[in-house]
Each structure stands twice: as structure tokens, then as C-alpha cells.
Structure 1
Amino acid sequence: MPLSNDEKKTYRTIGHQLNPIVTVASNGLTEAVLEELNRALDDHELVKIKVSVGDRDVKKAVIDEVIVQTKAILVQQIGNTALLLRRNPKAKANLSNLQRF
């Protein structure tokens, strides 16, 4: 389900203060990187990743593959940084980057 503009704005505001938690570099999207990313999405729900793999087309392909593999939603991409969201209703409130109401 796509995000509304208001939801995207809210998530971008939260994501602005986050640091990249996972970096995809020259080795590409390995199993270890996917495991760490899945763990981070389970715990934090909203994470920022850095993709340093080359030109725009390769970067776009890697981000698309990350989205498919993790079943996350791309909130925003700026340069080498992407903000991903995967809601977890069982996330621990002290670890999640999303505010619980």
C-alpha cells in the first residue's frame, strides 16, 4: 500500500535525524547485508541505508532489489542514501524510530 504525502512527510522528518545503519558497497547486496537490514527493519521500522555502488542505474537497481528482498517501502532517496520503512506491530517501543500513540 503506497504512502500518502502526509505520511511520507512525517517519515522524512523522523528520518532526517537518523544515520545510515547499513551500507551496501562494492560487494553488493550480500546475505550478511540483507540479514542485518532485516534485523534493523524489525527493530527500528524506519531505517536509513547508504548505497555506494557506482552510477545511478546500478544504485537504483540495488535499491529496488533491497525493497523486493526486505518487503520494505522506499520513503525517500537522496543521492547515495535511501530511507526505508517496514512496519512491525511487535516492535519494541524503545527501539522503534516511529512514535507510538
Structure 2
Amino acid sequence: MALTGAQVKQLRSMAHHLNPAIIIGKSDVNEGTVEQTVAYLEKHELVKCSVLDGSSLSAREAAEELAERCHAEVVQVIGRKFSLYRESSRKDIEKIKLV
């Protein structure tokens, strides 16, 4: 699912106020990171991640790898932080209504 420009703008504004929930360190993107991110996306649909200096990946590389492995979309990459979006399959949460 490719996001439109308006949808990316909406998600970027929503992600701005979030604190990073997923931290990528020296072990880079591993199975634990993927599982944690998938669980977070199922509950919240939008997640902000941070890449520590000890990681061998840049924020862009980490964002693309994690998005691919979680079947999510990269919303934005700024500095060492990035945001991902994926629509949840759960019915019991309030979903983000994209424009």
C-alpha cells in the first residue's frame, strides 16, 4: 500500500509528538526488534523508532529494512529517527483515518 502525499503529511504530523518506542542498537534489526515492532504497529498503527550511534546501519537503512520485514510503510526519516505506519488488522482499536 503506497501512501499518498497527503497521507504522509498527516502521519508525519501525528508522529512528530511521539517518543521513540523502538530502539535499534548495535545488534541492528533482529528478530526481536521485528516482533516488537509488529506488536506495536498492531496496537497503534504508527511507531517512531530511533537508531543509536552503536548501530552499523544508518536511520534510512534501518527504516527500510524494518519496514520491509514488518510489511509497513516508511513515513519519514529525520536524523537518527524514523517513523513507520501499517494498518492494524485488530478490530478493537481506534484506527488512524487517513485522508
TM-score range, shorter chain: 0.7 to 0.9
In structure 1, the partner of 2:71 is 71
Which sits farther off after the overlay, 79-88 or 59-68? 59-68
**Per-residue Cα deviation, 1:8-54 (whole angstroms, up to 9, x for no partner):** 11111111111100100111112211111110011110010111225
- Tell me which stretches of 4 or more aligned residues in structure 1 moved more than 6 Å: none
**2:85 is the alignment partner of 1:90:** no
In structure 1, the partner of 2:33 is 33
**Per-residue Cα deviation, 1:64-91 (whole angstroms, up to 9, x for no partner):** 2111100100010001111100001425
Partners of 1:78 and 1:61 in 2: how far apart? 12
In structure 2, the partner of 1:6 is 6
In structure 1, the partner of 2:81 is 81
So what's the TM-score if we normalise by structure 1?
A: 0.82
Partners of 1:70 and 1:48 in 2: how far apart? 14
Partners of 1:63 and 1:75 in 2: how far apart? 9
SS class of match (2:41): helix
Which sits farther off after the overlay, 59-68 or 71-80? 59-68
Q: Give the partner amino acid of 2:6.
A: D
Task: Identify unmatched segments of 5+ residues in structure 2.
Answer: none
So what's the TM-score if we normalise by structure 2?
A: 0.84
Equivalent residue pairs, number? 95
Partners of 1:42 and 1:93 in 2: how far apart? 9
Q: RMSD over aligned Cα, in angstroms? A: 1.9
